[in-house]
Amino acid sequence: MSTRLETLPDAQGVAQALAGLLAERLRQGGRAVLAGGQTPLPAYRLLGRRSLPWKAIELIPSDERCLEPESPERNDRQIGLALGQPEVRLHRFPAERGPALAAAQMEGVVTALLPFAVVVLGLGEDGHTASLFPGHPLGVEALVAPVYRAPKPPPQRVTLTPKALAQTSLLVFVVTGAEKREALERVLRGEPLPPNHIAAPQRLFLCDRAALPSLG
Ligand SMILES: O=C(O)[C@H](O)[C@@H](O)[C@H](O)[C@H](O)COP(=O)(O)O
């Protein structure tokens, strides 16, 4: 597994770099995992303005919060609004049915999406990624897992597992802001945090200067 760190001056630079990378990886269509949360949304807005074969692109959030479909806090809604591309196929977890039913229902859908052209993940201040939280069970053989006591609200979620997230040639972590510096440092130092359990052949950390750890 190779790891590369690319540092941009600020969050806007990270957004531009991520949008360009996604446009390149999806230039002939394909399937990708998009991180939830706030960090990547500016990149998704830029990506949505690109001329791509949107009808030949299938996307899925890295995880979903077990909220009603119309909740503004749902990752699929935030991603869809940011992209603003009605022709793209954005798969949605039926997370409103609860973690177990949503995970069971999506296992076959995710199987059919593998392998991904690219996987984009965020990083939480505690070192979580998707809805894979430190100290929580990771070792599932499934591709999709239920989450019941997430430290980041809401507590009930559904997430792609390391087994699913590793099914790509390029795994990209997008990390901005000084509040993420410690978590990024711990991941890059190889601590047994969820990002380090995803064995994709290539990892790229796209970060701004504020998040750049002093690994001296
Ligand atoms: O559902 C979620 O919250 C995300 O999947 C989560 O893993 C997110 O990527 C990180 O918590 C970073 O979130 P921010 O980008 O908002 O800091």
Closest-lying ligand 1 atom to the alpha carbon of residue 38: 16
Residue 97 vs residues 33, 133, 162: alpha-carbon distances, Å:
21, 21, 23
Ligand 1 binding pocket includes 65 (Cβ within 6 Å):
yes
pLDDT tens figures, 121-154: 999 999 999 999 999 987 679 999 999 999 999 9
Q: How far apart are the first and last CA of the chain?
A: 22
pLDDT for 65 equals: 98
CA distance 160 to 126: 18
Ligand 1 binding pocket includes 28 (Cβ within 6 Å):
no
Ligand 1 binding pocket includes 61 (Cβ within 6 Å):
no
pLDDT for 175 equals: 98
Q: Is the pLDDT of residue 215 over 70?
A: no
Closest-lying ligand 1 atom to the alpha carbon of residue 128: 7
- Evaluate whether residue 140 is within a structural domain: yes
CA distance 74 to 7: 29
What is the CB neighbour count within 10 angstroms for residue 153? 10
Ligand 1 centroid, distance to 152 Cα (angstroms):
9
pLDDT for 54 equals: 98
Burial classification of residue 182, based on how many CB atoms lie within 10 Å of its CB (0-12 exposed, 13-18 middle, 19 or more buried): middle
pLDDT for 214 equals: 77
- Evaluate whether residue 80 is within a structural domain: yes
- Evaluate whether residue 216 is within a structural domain: no
Ligand 1 binding pocket includes 156 (Cβ within 6 Å):
no
Among 167, 163, 124, which Cα is nearest to 141's?
A: 163
* Joined tokens for residue 145: 């897992």
Pure H helices in 69-197: 75-83, 99-113, 162-165, 181-188
- Domain range for 97 is 2-211
Q: Mean pLDDT over all residues of the chain?
A: 96
> Residue 109's domain is classified under what CATH number?
3.40.50.1360
The domain total for the chain is: 1
pLDDT tens figures, 142-192: 999 999 999 999 999 999 999 999 999 999 999 999 999 999 999 999 999
Ligand 1 binding pocket includes 130 (Cβ within 6 Å):
yes
pLDDT tens figures, 54-92: 999 999 999 999 999 999 999 999 999 999 999 999 999
- Evaluate whether residue 61 is within a structural domain: yes
Ligand 1 centroid, distance to 161 Cα (angstroms):
15
- Evaluate whether residue 43 is within a structural domain: yes
Q: Is the pLDDT of residue 44 over 90?
A: yes
Pair type for strands 63-65 and 157-160 = antiparallel
Residue 111 vs residues 92, 142, 161, 189: alpha-carbon distances, Å:
14, 10, 12, 32
Non-local CB neighbours of 37 within 8 Å, separated by 6+ positions: 75, 122
Closest-lying ligand 1 atom to the alpha carbon of residue 129: 7
Contact in structure between 193 and 125 (CB atoms under 8 Å): no
Prediction pTM value: 0.97
Q: What is the ipTM of this complex?
A: 0.98
Q: Please give the sequence-ordered ranges of beta strands (E in DSSP) within 98-201, or none if there are none.
A: 118-121, 144-147, 157-160, 171-175
Contact in structure between 162 and 198 (CB atoms under 8 Å): yes
